[in-house]
Amino acid sequence: MTAFASTALARRLDTAVQLAEEAGRLALRLRPPPGAPVATLKGAQDWLTEADGAVEEFLSRQLAERFPEDGFQGEETGRARSGTLRWVVDPIDGTSNYARGSARFCVSLGLIEDRTPLLGVLVAPAMGETFAARRGAGATLNGAPIRAAATTDLSRAMVECGWSPRRPNGAYFRLVEGVMGTGAMLRAGGSGALGLADVAAGRIDAYIELHINLWDVAAALAILQEAGATVSPFLDGNGLAEGNPIMAAAPGIAEGLVVATGFPLA
């Protein structure tokens, strides 16, 4: 259990929502028009836009002013400060969507203490959506409480399988085959953070990815936990530094998905 008083965390959540929404407006102003990607490649299918740097810089500066004692870690600029609490930022999650003018992207701002997610805020400005959660205080979408779905039958489920070039395509095909073998409907939306948030909101029944980084999930972990989803132990092992596989699911189908995919849930 965290040593931080709930009032200190509630104050941080209010600030995080306000800053992430402002960061979202900045990202919207910089969003490229629809068409071929306006971005540079960091690696195969790994995009970097002007907004990634600008949003991360904005959040780093604002958080340092308001909470100078807190640590910071950002995906893009390598900015890092240490502290008992650590803000973890993905300035634009779903960059491949964003770079071509799509609406499916978000600003992700999480707060962790060691291996415990304390707060999460995801702002999808082009969709007008703000997900937020504080440990022990529930999860919300635009202020209304959210819960993971009550689905128990995989043949009626919808499952997102996130893809990245960090794992071999063959492993992804096997994952997809396992999921589709259950009769579940498949989708892939290009933003791991928003896929996970959709599980928390009951819009889909599970999100699975063979490798994902801390900044992609730091906010979503708090949101999923508060929404009652079943989540694999992402922060175990080297998850903090090197990322891990992730599965987040409606509790009623989690075990069936583990059996069908061989995914390590615990």
**Do 105 and 127 form a contact (C-beta atoms < 8 A)?**
no
| Of 4 and 163, CB closest to ligand LIP | 163
Name the residues that contact ligand LIP, by CB under 6 A: 90, 93-95, 162-164, 190-193, 209, 212-213, 216
Task: Report, in Å, the least distance between residue 87 CB and ligand LIP.
Answer: 16
Task: Report, in Å, the least distance between residue 89 CB and ligand LIP.
Answer: 11
| Of 71 and 162, CB closest to ligand LIP | 162
Task: Report, in Å, the least distance between residue 58 CB and ligand LIP.
Answer: 16
| Of 29 and 42, CB closest to ligand LIP | 42
Distance between CA atoms of residues 182 and 217, nearest Å? 26
| Of 141 and 196, CB closest to ligand LIP | 196
| Of 74 and 94, CB closest to ligand LIP | 94
- Biggest CA–CA distance in the chain, Å, is 51
75 is in an annotated binding site: yes
Task: Report, in Å, the least distance between residue 3 CB and ligand LIP.
Answer: 31
Task: Report, in Å, the least distance between residue 67 CB and ligand LIP.
Answer: 24
In 106-140, which positions are buried (b, 16+ CB within 10 angstroms) versus exposed (e)? bbbbbbbbeeebbbbbbbbbbeebbbbbbbeeebb
Residue 261 has, within 13 A of its CA and on its CB side, a CA count of 30
Coil, strand, or helix at residue 47?
Answer: strand
- Helices 251-261 and 169-180: crossing angle in degrees, nearest 10, is 130
Distance between CA atoms of residues 132 and 147, nearest Å? 12
| Of 162 and 239, CB closest to ligand LIP | 162
Distance between CA atoms of residues 30 and 119, nearest Å? 27
216 is in an annotated binding site: yes
209 is in an annotated binding site: no
Which one, of 230, 196, 225, 189, lies nearest residue 213 by Cα? 196
Measured on CA atoms in the order 244, 208, 147, 142, is the torsion positive or negative?
A: positive
205 is in an annotated binding site: no
Task: Report, in Å, the least distance between residue 95 CB and ligand LIP.
Answer: 4
Residue 235 token pair: 């922060």
46 is in an annotated binding site: no
* Annotated binding-site members: 75, 90, 92-93, 216
User: Which residue ranges make up the annotated binding site for Mg(2+)?
Assistant: 75, 90, 92-93, 216
